[in-house]
């Protein structure tokens, strides 16, 4: 009877408590609570697997959608190009009559962003007039609208931001950056007539002048903080490509390598030239004035406007030796010189094959003298006047994807 009592109750007690029961009789039956816990655990695992699967499908679908959009944008950009070679070149009879166009049949060659930096070459309007320059350039369906960007780090940061936009395709888009240069001295305050004055460091990026800040960025990106490399880069690509014949700080001679005496010039067309340095690396700059990784490749267009500031510099310096006496008191002449400088900068970017152009506010700072307020108010209007000019059958703005004024 004792054995029978143990047999009747111990397994049931063990089963009720969720234990193992008598080891001589085998495992106790599963409890209802244990079964519910295991079922809930299995349900949670299934939900986690379904969530992971759904996220995976979503990411792949998004990647596919982005790829489709990029392909459509590529096709659209190719179809918006026109070919003028098979169209009637008679002047339209009415100002609102539009010329018939055909789809361009020749695809643009890809841009090799690994190309080495090329030394500065001079671009002159009289050597390659706009009508000929733009005759084989793309025509965008949506004309470029002048915009302004003000970012931490200036044009270096802005150019890197544009290059990362979804609509920017590096296979046929390229950025041109206009440098507000000095006709008498390449690299401005960073250099003298023979080369750099001193090593360029991150402190140089804190300067407030456009040319010095921009070129410090380019030179440090290419050469780091090694002065020997910096000097070699400057002398190879920029130094003595234009400027005063006699060294700065040693003479008052106003003759220049380009053959123009800017102090006595009364012709605004003397500002119709620029110098192009292709395939230069330009870095983004953070709020601490530190260069960021993954620089973008750009073309530099050095364009110098008129100097009308009689109260700055000294007799043997580049500022006074390029001071335009007529521009000091004649705002109309000064404005026309600025306009020519802006025009040649944009055309120089087109000559280099650039589709996105960052402009500098030429002669709107230390060069402006007593005209500073007027030229700053007029500058956007001047740029739009240049972009609205007809170059062939189209306006100049139709040949660019973006034209941007980048403030420091």
Give which of 406, 266, 395 is closest to 343, Cα–Cα.
395
> Which two structure tokens, joined as six digits, stand for 346?
């944009």
Report d(CA 391, CA 399) in Å as an integer: 10
Q: Report the number of distinct structural domains present in the chain.
A: 2
3-state secondary structure of 82: strand
pLDDT grade for 49, boundaries at 50, 70 and 90: confident
- Rank 42-46, 100-104, 368-372 by mean pLDDT and report only the highest: 368-372
Report d(CA 199, CA 211) in Å as an integer: 16
Instruction: Answer yes or no: is 371 within a domain.
Output: yes
Between 114 and 217, the more confident residue is: 217
The rounded mean pLDDT for the chain is 82
Q: If you write DSSP's letter for every residue of 367-399 in order, what string do you get?
A: T-GGGHHHHHHHHHHHHHHHHHSEETTEEGGGG
pLDDT by residue (tens digit) across 337-379?
999 999 999 999 999 999 999 999 999 999 999 999 999 999 9
pLDDT by residue (tens digit) across 226-236?
999 999 999 99
Question: Do 239 and 191 meet the contact criterion of CB atoms below 8 Å apart?
Answer: yes
pLDDT grade for 392, boundaries at 50, 70 and 90: confident
- Average of pLDDT values for 165-192? 95
Share of the chain above pLDDT 90, in %: 65
- Average of pLDDT values for 21-47? 53
Instruction: Answer yes or no: is 348 within a domain.
Output: yes
> Do 389 and 291 lie in a common domain?
yes
> Do 258 and 368 lie in a common domain?
yes
Instruction: Answer yes or no: is 88 within a domain.
Output: no
Report d(CA 323, CA 306) in Å as an integer: 8
Evaluate if residue 83 carries a pLDDT over 60. no
> Do 253 and 314 lie in a common domain?
yes
Q: What is the CATH number of the domain that holds 231?
A: 3.40.220
DSSP-derived secondary structure letter, 33: H
> Do 52 and 149 lie in a common domain?
no
> Do 44 and 141 lie in a common domain?
no
The domain of 27 spans 2-64
pLDDT grade for 116, boundaries at 50, 70 and 90: confident
Instruction: Answer yes or no: is 134 within a domain.
Output: yes
> Do 133 and 52 lie in a common domain?
no
> Do 399 and 271 lie in a common domain?
yes
pLDDT grade for 218, boundaries at 50, 70 and 90: very high
Domain boundary among 64, 79, 96: 64
Lowest mean pLDDT among 38-47, 226-235, 260-269, 317-326: 38-47
The confidence score (pLDDT) of residue 137 equals: 92
> Do 210 and 298 lie in a common domain?
yes
Instruction: Answer yes or no: is 70 within a domain.
Output: no
Domain boundary among 64, 89, 108: 64
> Do 58 and 199 lie in a common domain?
no
Give which of 313, 294, 179, 289 is closest to 238, Cα–Cα.
179
Report H helices in 197-330: 210-223, 227-237, 325-329
Instruction: Answer yes or no: is 99 within a domain.
Output: no
- Average of pLDDT values for 203-213? 92
> Do 35 and 149 lie in a common domain?
no
Domain boundary among 49, 64, 79: 64
Instruction: Answer yes or no: is 244 within a domain.
Output: yes
Instruction: Answer yes or no: is 106 within a domain.
Output: no
The confidence score (pLDDT) of residue 66 equals: 61
Evaluate if residue 32 carries a pLDDT over 60. no
């Amino acid at each position: 009877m004792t054995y029978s009592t143990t047999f009747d109750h111990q397994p049931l007690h063990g089963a009720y408590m969720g234990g193992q029961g008598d080891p001589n009789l085998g495992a106790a039956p599963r409890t209802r609570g244990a079964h519910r816990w295991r079922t809930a655990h299995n349900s949670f695992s299934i939900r986690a697997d379904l969530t992971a699967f759904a996220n995976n499908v979503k990411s792949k679908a998004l990647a596919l959608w982005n790829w489709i959009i990029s392909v459509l944008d590529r096709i659209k950009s190719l179809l918006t190009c026109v070919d003028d070679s098979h169209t009637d070149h008679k002047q339209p009879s009415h100002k609102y009559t539009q010329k018939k166009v055909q789809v361009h049949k020749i695809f643009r060659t890809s841009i090799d962003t690994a190309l080495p930096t090329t030394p500065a070459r001079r671009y002159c309007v009289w050597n390659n007039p706009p009508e000929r320059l733009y005759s084989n350039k793309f025509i965008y369906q949506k004309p470029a609208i002048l915009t302004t960007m003000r970012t931490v780090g200036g044009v270096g940061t802005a150019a890197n931001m544009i290059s990362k936009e979804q609509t920017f395709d590096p296979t046929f888009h390229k950025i041109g950056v206009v440098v507000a240069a000095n006709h008498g001295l390449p690299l401005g305050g960073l250099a003298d007539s023979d080369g750099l004055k001193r090593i360029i460091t991150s402190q140089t990026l804190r300067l407030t002048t456009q040319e010095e800040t921009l070129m410090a960025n380019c030179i440090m990106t290419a050469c780091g903080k090694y002065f020997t490399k910096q000097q070699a880069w400057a002398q190879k690509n920029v130094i003595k490509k234009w400027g005063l014949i006699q060294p700065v700080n040693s003479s008052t001679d106003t003759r220049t390598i380009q053959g123009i005496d800017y102090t006595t010039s009364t012709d605004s067309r003397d500002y119709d030239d620029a110098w192009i340095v292709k395939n230069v690396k330009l870095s983004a700059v953070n709020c601490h004035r530190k260069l960021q990784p993954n620089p973008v490749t750009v073309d530099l267009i050095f364009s110098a406007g008129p100097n009308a500031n009689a109260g700055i510099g000294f007799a043997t310096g580049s500022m006074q030796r390029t001071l335009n006496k007529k521009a000091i008191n004649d705002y109309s002449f000064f404005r026309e010189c600025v306009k020519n400088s802006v025009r040649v900068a944009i055309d120089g970017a087109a000559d280099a094959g650039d589709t996105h152009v960052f402009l500098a506010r030429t002669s709107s700072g230390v060069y402006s003298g007593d005209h500073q307020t007027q030229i700053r108010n007029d500058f956007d209007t001047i740029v739009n006047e240049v972009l609205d000019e007809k170059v062939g059958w189209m306006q100049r703005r139709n040949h660019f994807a973006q034209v941007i004024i980048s403030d420091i």
